[in-house]
Amino acid sequence: MVDIVAHAAEVESFSVHMAHHRLGGELVARKTITLNFKPNGEPLRHAYLHFLQGAQGRENSVSAASMSIDLPAEEFDRWLHLLQTEAPLTFTWTVDEDKREVLGVSLHSGEEPPGEGYVDLTP
């Protein structure tokens, strides 16, 4: 029997790290977003989201205080945009507790009224 558990935490802050790594003899760009969570009873305090071309799914782990998961490189700009423009944000993750493996993650904003958006200030 699989023991799958869903979790959620509000994002308190984030940081971005960009680097180049050798992977199989090839130089690869790696972008990482680190999410820090507001205390809410969940033991997880940080999530490391790695955006690495061609290495999706290589790193996928969770411990008591942090998790690390690879996501498609082309999603980096979307995740960053949401983090920079929306508040509050909730991060959710699903874990196979038996394997201590992350099955999925998501980031979503709070409810907003329809039509909220950029204000046209042109005369």
For residues 5 and 103, what is the distance between their CA atoms, to the nearest angstrom? 10
Return the SS3 of 19: strand
* Sequence-distant (≥ 6) Cβ neighbours of residue 33 within 8 angstroms: 14, 15, 16, 17, 48, 49, 51, 76, 79, 80, 83
For residues 16 and 97, what is the distance between their CA atoms, to the nearest angstrom? 28
28-87, pLDDT tens digit by residue?
778 999 999 998 887 889 999 999 876 555 668 788 788 899 898 899 999 999 999 898
Overall average pLDDT of the 7-20 stretch: 92
**What is the reported pLDDT for 47?**
93
Return the SS3 of 34: strand
More confident residue, 119 or 62: 62
Mean pLDDT of the chain, nearest integer? 84
Overall average pLDDT of the 18-35 stretch: 83
CATH number for the domain running over 4-109: 2.40.50
Domain residue ranges of the chain, discontinuous segments joined by +: 4-109
